[in-house]
Amino acid sequence: MITVVIPALNESKTIGSVVRTMRKSPRVSEVIVVDDGSIDGTPEVASSEGATVVTSSFLGKGASMQDGASVARNEYLLFMDGDLTEFVPDLAERMTRPLVSNLADYVKARFTRSGGRVTELAAKPLLKVFFPELLHIDQPLGGVVATRKGLLRSLEFENDYGVDIGLLIDMFAKGARILQVDIGFIEHDCQPLESLRRMASQVTRTILDRAQRLGRLTESQVIAVHEQERQDSADLESTIQRLGSPEKLALIDMDGTLIKGRFVDELAKAVAKEHQLASLLDNKNLCAKVRTERIAAIFEGTPQEVFQNVAMKMPLTKGAVVLVVGLRKRGYAVGIVSDSYYIATEVIRRRVFADFSMAHLLRFVDRRANGDISISPAMQHDQGCPVHPICKQNVLQHFSEQMGYMPRTLAIGDNEGDACLLQAADLGIAFEPKTHHVAKCANQIVRRNIASTLNYMDHEFEEVSSQWLPPFLASKISGDGLF
């Protein structure tokens, strides 16, 4: 029998018909929808059509595919896209027949469709250079794939648009028998230009990465591509463009707010730099910029993976995921704004399903920190905060200028570095405030479970628009008190 795995993010318009069609197949005994933090009712629609719904462990298609495969009861797996609007009803049988007949180990769908620009302009030219053996695959980026569960255990899943091409190349490298099966015409939802740009970048990086691993490209070239892609992803202008035109914007601190503790403290412990860090954190004679630069310097030589592993292991604040998904369901574009490092905020962003993150950008050479850091442009502005040259409040100014309007804003933080932002936002929430001043800068105080912010907003925020209660009065009404 076959298990169908469908990674899904905000596909409520199509997921029902995809699940319904798959369940009609006599060979399909299980349909698993792995939800990536959808806010449009995708999980509910999938469940109502008989799918088993699980929540992804980490934002991104690769993690969703792994999560689905790990809980699948059957050995034969069919991965499907959740945004398909038209496909043949016997797709499951067509795709898995070569597996059952032992004619193939990995089956890619061949189909006709509109679009395919990234395939033609990025994937195929690179495959021609580095993997000409795979050039005959018509849709190397297609997400309709059938294979056996056991073959996936040793493979690495990219966690972005590179996942499908990465798996194809890895299967080729393992000597798997790869076959194409014609499934006729299918139709996907169209992708905006900004998404296609990111897709092309991630597909390019994945192909070059695999070429390097297999001795078809030098390592230095691949590392340079990785680093450039990482830096490009932090670009302020492209981040704001990617969000479109949201009516509501939520900016949330990371340390002490979305995660328990402070990332840099745990990083220092991981590399035995606690003493050096403490001497800088306690030095009140250093301005914020110099302190940030000197702290970055003590981590020179630290491998990139150490930063990522520390961020993965740090415990989330109670209710963090519920808060972020809940805000997105209420129409907010949700971002993490932190005076920590972008390499860490991006990990936390994916763990809580946020839309973007803004933080200081460390430089890496050969996948090791070189001690240099670029202060986040989003936190600097000539006409921004009159008190602090580097301030989270300045993020609001950039959004207003680039969008041409100011969305309704919510800010959530806990320490002095968040105070100006809390005061400038339409609604400022102090979560377990560290000082009396931070509490006074906020409209409301939330304790213990950060998701309880949603309860307050549902009862107060939407009704009073942008005219909030004074901070001292709001804190009394909350019943929590200050400390």
* pTM summary value: 0.82
Looking at the predicted structure, is the pLDDT value of residue 138 above 70? yes
Determine the 3-state secondary structure of 255 from DSSP. strand
- Average pLDDT (340-366) is 96
Question: Across the strands, what pairs with 412?
Answer: 252, 429
Average pLDDT, integer, range 242-251: 92
| pLDDT tens track for 31-79 | 999 999 999 999 999 999 999 999 999 999 999 999 999 999 999 999 9
Give the model confidence (pLDDT) of 88-122 as tens digits.
889 999 999 999 999 999 999 998 765 478 888 88
pLDDT digits (tens, 9 = 90+) for 434-467: 999 999 999 999 999 999 999 877 665 444 333 4
At 189, the pLDDT band (50, 70, 90 cuts) reads low
**Contact (CB, 8 A) for 140 and 168:** yes
Q: How far is CA 187 from the centre of its chain?
A: 25
One fold for both 2-206 and 236-478? no
Q: Rounded mean pLDDT of the chain?
A: 90
Please give the pLDDT value at position 222.
Answer: 80
**312-327 per-position pLDDT tens digit:** 999 999 999 999 999 9
Closest CA to 417 of 346, 483, 337, 478: 337
Alpha-carbon distance 219 to 226, whole Å?
A: 11
CA dist., res. 129 & res. 147, Å (int): 27
Comparison of pLDDT for 137 and 224, the residue scoring more: 137
CATH of region 2-206? 3.90.550.10
CATH topology of domain 236-478: Rossmann fold (3.40.50)
Residue 128: how many CB atoms within 10 A of its CB?
A: 11
For residue 425, which of 465, 388, 393 has the smallest C-alpha distance? Answer: 393
Question: pLDDT tens across 383-405, in order?
Answer: 889 999 999 999 999 999 998 99
Strands 106-112 and 52-55 turn out to be: unpaired
Domain extents for the chain?
Answer: 2-206, 236-478
